[in-house]
Structures are given as structure tokens and as C-alpha cells.
């Protein structure tokens, strides 16, 4: 364990002339009087992981600033030169609404340009999926988006992409990390850029991107008849406002209602506790607007517009929030059912979900004779699989429980733009069938099984929190529960050890995915509990899934109550609340 004296020595390095005065002043202040802040800022290096960087902004080795970002960019530059030579490398850069995002994007552009790259920098904030599209369209070797997704306002981040438009995966991920670790001093960073190498991307790229989104429409004739559906959309102060209302209009929807307070671009996110469409508070203003205007659908995207939250009216006309599994299943069912009804299948289609996402995705795919692949958490694994199967099989949809969906392969990351448009179209189609979107979900449950999920996040911040999370995972591995909520644990899957243990047959088998710090407990009653530390936030995540048969709409409320009780029993038995 690193001592406080050693932490102070690490901090004193940041008082050198190679750091700007603002940084030096912040470090002096921490050394003089805020030991806890000093420890958190310098006890480790902000890790350039397989998804890039994400951290609290401020001075320090464990903070998001131009120096930690600079080391990441220089390391990435060095790797790109090793891979592609020192001529003809083109990269794209986008950024979201967060504080310092433009500053960080310009710094990244300067470093890339100083390394001799042609840099395509968006003129203003843009959604992450548009960055993914731009990389492929402009034949870039790599790309970066400055965002911390849905994290609190004090965070920012840096996501690195490869030439297929997907986030970096093996073998490039670890190789880039090695290059970043070789940058041991800020003096190794080429900060002095070449402005001649930096070009601006503007609305012409929006137009190209939106044309691809429009190709995802499956029922334009239905929309013509249902174009007046009331749709409230909020970007929660972020990038979605740049393109999502335009996408909805291009699809044919005319009654799009905004939330003026949340149209304002602001990295402090003044109207919400957290800019996270998973959180009920984030949709409060939009739901209020929907009630005032008698709208049918509420949609919210996160700051970089790669994730989507929905609220729909239940059978009593009250707005309820859909979780990520429910939204994903509706979008997937809509795509698969329309492919079937329009005879669009060629026999090589597939969908993707993740190991912590609802098994209902698998059931819906089975019902349509479509293959469903289960990958580790993160859309970089979607992109990797799509690339590996390109020319052999066709990806047509999928998503993950954390509110990320991709309705086609025009980009290689989750996309709230296309997902918003398709969710609105699914609503129009459901209405044309005499149903609301909520009633469509119940129909899916009747056909394929009533699955209900819950996510529980336990936040543990700082150095002590990280250690506590590690200890929790270690304890589950050393002393796994034999029963949970009076139901036997019949199988444990440890993706870190890459072992699946079946306690009914006694069989041990190897998992076919790469190592990941995830544990799953499968119960005799069909319940599933997944546990993993978050890769981007200071928390450990518990995913709970329970299911039962549903015979009719009239049984829905009673069945839901039983599943809720089962979920509460599991959480109580694990002593998590």
C-alpha cells in the first residue's frame, strides 16, 4: 500500500514548470491542507483501460485532466504509428456537453496533429454513435470521443475507437495500454499541434449519418397514419438535441414535444440529480410535460446520446418507466416480427445481448428462429462480433440492460438516435394493432415468458471503496451461497476463472468468453443473479432476474406481484439492503 509520504512525493512532481499554473495551484492547495483529496488524486494513475479513461476532473495522476488525457493520446498515437506507419493516418474526434469537453477535444486534436495525423474534429458537440459512423465513413484508423456518458457532473472521460468504428478490443486494447504506460512524463507528450492537420466536421456528417438511421425504418406507411403520436423527447442537456428530433421528423413524426429547460447544453446538468436515463429523476420534467400535453411516449437520451430511457402509459394511463431489458426486448421483438411478416429473412440473421441482460432476448430470438449471441458487458464486444461475422451473417438488432441498443450495423456502438426513432415507430405500429407499447410488452410476456429484472448498484468511492469491492468479489468466490431466497444454487459461472460449475450434474466446463470479473448464480426456480464491479464507476453491480409463465393479460398484475416479492426476497437474503 502506497504511503502518504510517497503520495506527497508523487504530487510534488506536479509542481514542475511543465504543468500549467492552474494545475500547480490546485496541487499546492491539496498538499497544504486536504490530505484525503490529495490521496484520492494521487494514490494511483488514472488507468487507461480497455475502454479508455474516465474519472473526476482535476489535478492529479488519478484525475481527468489534459496531462492524463495527453499521456493516453500520445500512447495511442505511438501505437497507431507502429501499426500503420507515420503517414496517412486519419482520426476523428467528437465530444459531448460536459465541462471541459471542448477543451479536452482540442487538446486531443493538437496532440494527434503534432504526431502528423490528419484530424477530423467535429465543430460542436455530437452523439457518440455519430463518431462511430464518421470513423467508418471517412476511413479513419482510430477515433476518440470525450464523454463520461451518464456519470455525475464532476466526471469526464475519453473513449478510444478502432478503424471499424467500435471501441478498441483485443489485441489492440492491451497493446495500447502498454504504449500509454511507456509515457512516464508529460514531457513526452507532443502538445504543440499543427493546425493545418486539423479539419472540421459539420452538418454534412449529420446528414450522412441520419440517412443511415432512416434506412432502419420498417413501416413508413404505418407512421404516415400515426404521425400525430405525442412524443416528448429530452436530451438532458446533452448531444441528442443535435440530431434526435431531426431523426424523428425524418421518420415522419410530426408531434414532437421538447422540454425547454433540458434543451440547454450544460455540463452541470442543473435540472437533474444525475443525467442518467436509468434514474427516475432524470425523466421527471419530461413526464410532467407529457402529462400536460397528453403525449403517449417519453424518451430521454444521456449526455452523449448512446443510451435511451423510455416512459410509457400503463393500462391505467399512468406513465411508468421501462427498464433497459424491457425497452431492448420491445425493440428486438419489433425488428424480428417485422422481418418475419415482411418475409425479409434470408436465414443468416442474428441478434446480440450480454450475459447480464434478460434471457427474454434469447426466448424471443428462439421464437423467430434467429440466432442470439451472448457477449460480455460492453458494446465493444458487439462491434467485435459484428466485424468477425461480416459477410457471413447479418446483424439486425440487439441491446444490453444498461439502456444501450443498436438497431442495425450502420454504427458499431450503442445508438440512442436510431433507437429513439425505432421506439417511436414501434409505438406507431403497436397503435395500428390496437395496442399501446406497454400492452405490446405484456403480449411478449405471454408468448415467451414473464421475465422481470432489477439492478442494484452499491457505490463505494475512493481507494477504500475500491478495496471493499474487491473484497466482496473475493468473498463470493471463496464462500458462495448454497441457497438464495430458499432456492438452491444449481450453477455458478465464474467468468474470471472461466469455469461453469453445475451442481446437479457435477459437471465443470470452461466458458467460451474472455476473462471478465463477473459471477453468476443460477437458482433452481429459474432466477439468475449476476455480480460484477463496474468498469467505469466506483460501484459493484448486482443484476437480478426472475421469471414465470403468464397465460393472459388478466393475470399480469398478480404475476408481477409474485415476481416483485421474489426479487425482494433475493435482495434481502443476500443482505444487500
User: Please, are residues 92 and 63 in contact by the beta-carbon 8 Å criterion?
Assistant: no
In the listed set 182, 201, 220, which residue is the last one of a domain according to the structure?
201
C-alpha–C-alpha distance, residues 137 and 423, integer Å: 25
pLDDT value at residue 429? 98
C-alpha–C-alpha distance, residues 25 and 530, integer Å: 44
C-alpha–C-alpha distance, residues 145 and 191, integer Å: 18
Q: How confident is the model at residue 2 (pLDDT cuts 50, 70, 90)?
A: confident
Do 458 and 330 sit in the same domain of this protein? no
Residue 510 has pLDDT above 80, yes or no: yes
Residue 529's DSSP bridge partners are 521, 544
Give helix 416-432 / helix 128-137 axis angle, nearest 10°: 110
Residue 1 has pLDDT above 70, yes or no: no
Tens of pLDDT, residue by residue over 207-225, are: 999 999 999 999 999 999 9
Mean of the per-residue pLDDT values of the chain: 96
Do 414 and 427 sit in the same domain of this protein? yes
pLDDT value at residue 52? 86
Do 170 and 307 sit in the same domain of this protein? no
- The closest of 352, 402, 357 to 382, measured between CA atoms, is 352
Q: What percent of the chain has pLDDT over 70?
A: 99
Q: In angstroms, what is the C-alpha Rg of the chain?
A: 24
Query: For the stretch 448-469, what's the b/e string if a residue is b when 16 or more beta carbons lie within 10 angstroms of its beta carbon?
Result: bbbbbbbbbebebeebebeeeb
HSE (side-chain half, CA atoms, 13 Å) at 567 = 19
Do 439 and 455 sit in the same domain of this protein? no
More confident residue, 542 or 463: 542
Do 230 and 273 sit in the same domain of this protein? yes
Single pTM value for the model = 0.94
Do 165 and 214 sit in the same domain of this protein? no
Give mean pLDDT, residues 84-89: 94
Pick the catalytic residue from 110, 113, 132, 149.
149
500 three-class SS: strand
Do 78 and 183 sit in the same domain of this protein? yes
Residue 501 has pLDDT above 90, yes or no: yes
- The closest of 389, 392, 382, 391 to 361, measured between CA atoms, is 382
530 three-class SS: strand
- At 221, which CATH number? 3.40.120.10
Tally the domains of the chain.
Answer: 4
142 three-class SS: strand
- The closest of 260, 230, 256, 259 to 245, measured between CA atoms, is 256
Give mean pLDDT, residues 21-42: 93
C-alpha–C-alpha distance, residues 216 and 197, integer Å: 35
Do 418 and 303 sit in the same domain of this protein? yes
Residue 162's DSSP bridge partners are 142
Q: What percent of the chain has pLDDT over 90?
A: 93
In the listed set 151, 169, 201, which residue is the last one of a domain according to the structure?
201
Domain carrying residue 26? 1-43
Kindly report whether the peptide bond that precedes residue 171 is cis, defined as omega within 30 degrees of 0. yes
Do 335 and 464 sit in the same domain of this protein? no
- The closest of 218, 206, 249, 217 to 231, measured between CA atoms, is 249
Do 70 and 38 sit in the same domain of this protein? no
User: Please, are residues 396 and 386 in contact by the beta-carbon 8 Å criterion?
Assistant: no
pLDDT value at residue 398? 96
Give helix 324-341 / helix 416-432 axis angle, nearest 10°: 60
User: Please, are residues 203 and 82 in contact by the beta-carbon 8 Å criterion?
Assistant: no
Contacts of residue 326, Cβ cutoff 8 Å, sequence gap at least 6 = 441
DSSP 167: B
pLDDT value at residue 380? 94
Tens of pLDDT, residue by residue over 380-426, are: 999 999 999 999 999 999 999 999 999 999 999 999 999 999 999 99
Do 193 and 254 sit in the same domain of this protein? no
What is the secondary structure of 25-71 as a DSSP string?
Answer: HHHHHHHHH-HHHHHHHHSS----BTTBEEEEBSSSTTSBSHHHHHH
Tens of pLDDT, residue by residue over 236-279, are: 999 999 999 999 999 999 999 999 999 999 999 999 999 999 99
- At 497, which CATH number? 3.30.310
In the listed set 448, 466, 488, which residue is the last one of a domain according to the structure?
448
- The closest of 478, 485, 466, 577 to 529, measured between CA atoms, is 485
Tens of pLDDT, residue by residue over 420-431, are: 999 999 999 999
User: Please, are residues 302 and 277 in contact by the beta-carbon 8 Å criterion?
Assistant: yes
Do 288 and 371 sit in the same domain of this protein? yes
Residue 50 has pLDDT above 90, yes or no: no
Tens of pLDDT, residue by residue over 120-179, are: 999 999 999 999 999 999 999 999 999 999 889 999 999 999 999 999 998 999 999 999
Terminal Cα distance for the chain, rounded: 30
Please say if 123 is a catalytic residue. no
Amino acid at each position: 500500500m502506497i504511503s502518504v509520504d510517497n503520495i506527497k512525493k508523487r504530487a510534488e512532481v506536479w509542481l514542475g514548470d511543465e504543468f500549467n499554473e492552474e494545475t500547480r495551484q490546485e496541487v499546492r492547495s491539496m498538499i497544504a491542507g486536504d490530505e484525503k483529496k490529495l490521496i484520492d488524486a494521487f494514490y494511483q494513475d488514472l488507468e487507461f483501460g480497455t475502454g479508455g479513461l474516465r474519472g473526476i476532473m482535476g489535478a492529479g495522476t488519478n484525475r481527468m485532466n489534459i496531462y492524463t488525457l495527453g499521456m493516453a493520446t500520445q500512447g495511442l498515437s505511438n501505437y497507431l504509428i507502429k501499426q500503420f506507419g507515420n503517414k496517412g493516418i486519419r482520426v476523428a474526434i467528437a465530444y459531448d456537453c460536459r465541462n471541459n469537453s471542448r477543451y479536452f477535444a482540442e487538446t486531443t486534436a493538437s496532440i494527434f496533429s503534432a504526431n502528423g495525423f490528419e484530424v477530423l474534429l467535429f465543430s460542436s458537440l455530437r452523439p457518440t454513435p455519430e463518431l462511430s459512423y464518421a470513423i467508418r465513413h471517412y476511413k479513419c484508423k482510430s477515433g476518440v470521443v470525450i464523454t463520461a456518458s451518464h456519470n455525475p457532473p464532476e466526471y469526464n472521460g475519453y473513449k478510444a475507437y478502432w478503424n471499424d468504428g467500435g471501441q478498441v478490443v483485443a489485441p489492440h486494447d492491451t497493446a495500447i495500454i502498454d504504449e500509454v504506460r511507456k509515457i512516464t512524463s508529460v514531457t513526452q507528450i507532443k502538445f504543440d499541434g499543427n493546425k493545418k492537420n486539423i479539419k472540421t466536421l459539420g452538418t454534412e456528417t449529420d446528414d450522412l449519418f441520419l440517412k443511415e438511421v432512416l434506412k432502419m425504418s420498417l413501416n413508413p406507411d404505418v407512421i404516415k397514419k400515426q404521425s400525430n403520436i405525442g412524443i416528448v423527447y429530452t436530451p438532458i442537456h446533452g448531444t441528442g438535441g443535435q440530431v434526435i428530433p431531426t431523426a424523428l421528423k425524418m421518420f415522419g413524426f410530426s408531434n414532437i414535444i421538447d422540454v425547454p429547460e433540458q434543451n440547454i447544453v450544460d455540463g452541470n446538468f442543473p435540472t437533474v440529480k444525475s443525467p442518467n436515463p436509468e434514474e427516475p429523476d432524470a425523466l421527471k420534467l419530461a413526464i410532467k410535460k407529457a402529462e400536460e400535453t397528453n403525449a403517449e411516449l417519453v424518451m430521454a437520451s444521456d449526455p452523449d446520446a448512446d443510451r435511451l430511457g423510455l416512459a410509457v402509459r400503463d393500462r391505467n394511463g399512468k406513465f411508468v418507466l421501462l427498464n433497459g431489458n424491457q425497452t431492448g426486448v420491445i425493440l428486438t421483438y419489433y425488428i424480428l416480427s417485422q422481418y418475419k411478416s415482411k418475409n425479409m429473412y434470408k436465414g443468416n440473421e442474428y441478434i446480440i445481448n450480454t450475459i447480464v441482460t434478460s434471457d427474454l432476448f434469447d426466448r424471443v430470438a428462439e421464437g423467430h428462429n434467429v440466432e442470439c449471441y451472448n457477449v460480455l458487458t460492453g458494446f465493444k464486444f458487439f462491434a467485435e462480433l459484428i466485424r468477425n461475422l461480416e459477410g457471413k451473417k447479418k446483424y439486425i438488432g440487439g441491446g444490453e440492460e444498461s439502456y444501450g441498443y443498436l438497431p442495425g450495423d450502420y454504427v458499431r456502438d450503442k445508438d440512442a438516435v436510431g433507437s429513439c426513432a425505432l421506439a417511436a415507430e414501434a409505438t406507431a405500429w403497436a397503435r395500428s394493432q390496437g395496442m399501446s407499447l406497454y400492452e405490446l410488452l405484456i403480449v411478449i410476456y405471454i408468448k415467451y415468458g414473464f421475465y422481470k429484472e432489477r439492478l442494484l448498484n452499491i457505490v463505494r468511492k475512493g481507494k477504500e471503496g475500491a478495496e471493499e469491492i474487491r473484497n466482496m468479489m473475493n468473498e463470493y468466490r471463496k464462500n458462495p451461497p448454497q441457497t438464495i431466497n430458499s432456492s438452491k444454487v444449481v450453477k455458478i459461472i465464474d467468468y474470471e476463472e472461466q469455469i461453469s460449475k453445475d451442481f446437479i450434474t457435477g459437471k465443470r466446463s470452461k466458458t467460451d468468453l474472455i476473462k471478465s470479473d463477473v459471477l453468476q448464480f443460477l437458482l433452481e426456480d429459474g432466477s439468475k443473479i449476476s455480480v460484477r464491479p463496474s468498469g467505469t464507476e466506483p460501484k459493484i453491480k448486482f443484476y437480478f432476474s426472475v421469471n414465470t409463465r403468464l397465460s393472459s393479460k388478466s393475470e399480469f398484475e398478480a404475476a408481477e406481484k409474485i415476481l416483485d416479492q421474489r426479487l425482494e426476497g433475493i435482495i434481502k437474503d443476500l443482505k444487500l439492503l
